[in-house]
Structure formats: C-alpha cells, structure tokens
Amino acid sequence: MRIAVAGATGNIGSLTVAALEGAGHDAVRMSRSLGVDVATGAGLDDALAGVEAVIDVTNSGATDRDEAVAAFGTATRNLLAAEQRAGVRHHVLLSIAGLDRVDGNAHYAGKREQERLVSAGDVPWTIVPATQFHDFAAMVADWMEQDGAAPIAPLLVQPIAPADVAAILAEIAVGAPQGRYRDIAGPDPQDLVDMARRTHQARGRTVRLVPTWSSLFGPEMAGEVMLPGKDARIAPTSFDAWLADQH
C-alpha cells in the first residue's frame, strides 16, 4: 500500500516511515527539507500521486495562540485539499490525549483547530490521541534550561514510547477510517520532573530541575488532566525499558 507521511523527517515521522516499510508498504516521505511544504502547499500534488492514505505527524513551533491556530489550520487545509484532489481514502492525524481539557496552551489550541478541520473535512479520517512521549520531559527541560537550571512543571503523565506510536499509526493507516480513535498511552503514570531527572542521568547530563507551575505549563494541567481515558490502548514499552536504551 502506498502511504504518505507528512513530517517524515521528524522523530515520529522517521519511525513511522520505518514501521511502514518494515511491514512492506511503500512509504512516501513528505517534509519541507524534501521539497514538500504543507505550509504553502508546494510539492503536495506530486507527492500524493497514487497515495491511498496519509499520516500527518507535522508540528508547529508557534508559541502564540493565534499563530499556532493559523499555522496548524493552514497546513491542514492545504494537506486535506491536496488529498481530495489525489483521491486519498484515509487521513490519519496524530493528536494529543486530553486536548479539550487544557484551554490556555497555544499548542493545544492549534491542535484543536487541526482536529476540527480533519473531522469536518471530506477525506475519511482517523484521529489518534497520544499521551506525551517518553522523551518529552527531557525535551521540556532542554527548552527551558538557562545557566544549568530548568524550571519544569510536576505534571502527572502516562508517557508512550515514540516507536510504539509509530507502530500504531502504521497499523491504523492500512485499515478503514475509524473516526476518533481511543487514547494511546504507555503502561505507567510518571511524574515529569522525575522523568527529566532520570533521562538526564541516563544520558550523563547534569541539570538542576526546578519544579514550578509558573513556567511553560500552568496549574490547569495539574492532577489527572494529562492522563489517558479509561478505555485507552496501552502500548507495551515502559518508560524504564525506554530509559535503558538512553546513553
């Protein structure tokens, strides 16, 4: 089956391409660096020729709410319009579990707009809401680090391995559209501060972590807000198992 991956050169994108190819599918890589730009629509029509399904794992670095909504909205409109022209039969969107429970976050606002457009569009779709990835805590600490210290919120999360996310996306893409899929998550709840500390330790890094709700994430994300729904699909790879591979 010929399946395109939008955002193919990113972490999840490259793993998804590998999962598709490992299962014998023809994976079409789409990213700006490869001449396919969802933000402008450039190269989309050529890339989608003969494609039966598209997996969208693109992202946006916008930190302003309006900018994030505009960025995700423009990219999604361009992608869906090109898919319709190409006769694509299945659009698979990677989203975030608990999206509707967090109001103040710009990235979440952008993802909600993305979900709205996909669910209202003419291309049959599946939206896959995932919890945070195993490497999320260290990424947040890296974003925030200054002078050897990083403020980080004590979020309660149930992280999932990036490779497990990719495998599930590849599995869903070859099947029939399912609408909104159940949340996908890893096996165990974790504290974001502890995850960052342990990841840094495994990678031989020293960063002073400062737990706070006055940084990137606010108290609207406290408690069980970030945890998956009760009917979540639990992926096999634990945070401990993933951590064992970090060097």
Q: Write down the pLDDT at residue 231.
A: 95
106-120 and 65-86 helices, crossing angle to 10°: 30
Among 43-52, 135-144, 179-188, the minimum mean pLDDT is found in: 135-144
CA dihedral of 60, 133, 165, 187, whole degrees rounded to 10 = -150
Query: Rounded mean pLDDT of 34-58?
Result: 97
Better-predicted residue by pLDDT, 246 or 37: 37
Query: What average pLDDT is seen over the chain?
Result: 95
| Reduced 3-state DSSP string for 64-87 | CHHHHHHHHHHHHHHHHHHHHHHC
Among 59-63, 150-154, 236-240, the minimum mean pLDDT is found in: 59-63
DSSP label at residue 216: S
Scan for tokens 């501060």, then name that residue: 193
Q: Write down the pLDDT at residue 62.
A: 83
Cα separation, 191 vs 167, whole angstroms: 25
Q: Write down the pLDDT at residue 68.
A: 94
Decide: 31 and 4 in contact? Cβ < 8 Å: no
Decide: 75 and 69 in contact? Cβ < 8 Å: no
Scan for tokens 């999932």, then name that residue: 160
Query: Rounded mean pLDDT of 38-59?
Result: 97
Q: Write down the pLDDT at residue 72.
A: 97
Backbone phi and psi for residue 176, each to the nearest 5 degrees, phi listed first: -75, 150
Better-predicted residue by pLDDT, 106 or 44: 44
pLDDT tens figures, 66-108: 999 999 999 999 999 999 999 999 999 999 999 988 887 889 9
Out of 3.40.50.720, 3.30.365.10, 3.30.1540.20, 3.40.50.2300, which CATH number does the structure's domain 2-243 have? 3.40.50.720
Q: Which two tokens stand for residue 234?
A: 């639990």
Does residue 217 have a pLDDT over 90? no
Among 8-12, 19-23, 143-147, the minimum mean pLDDT is found in: 143-147
Q: How far is CA 30 from the centre of its chain?
A: 16
Decide: 54 and 45 in contact? Cβ < 8 Å: no
DSSP label at residue 42: T
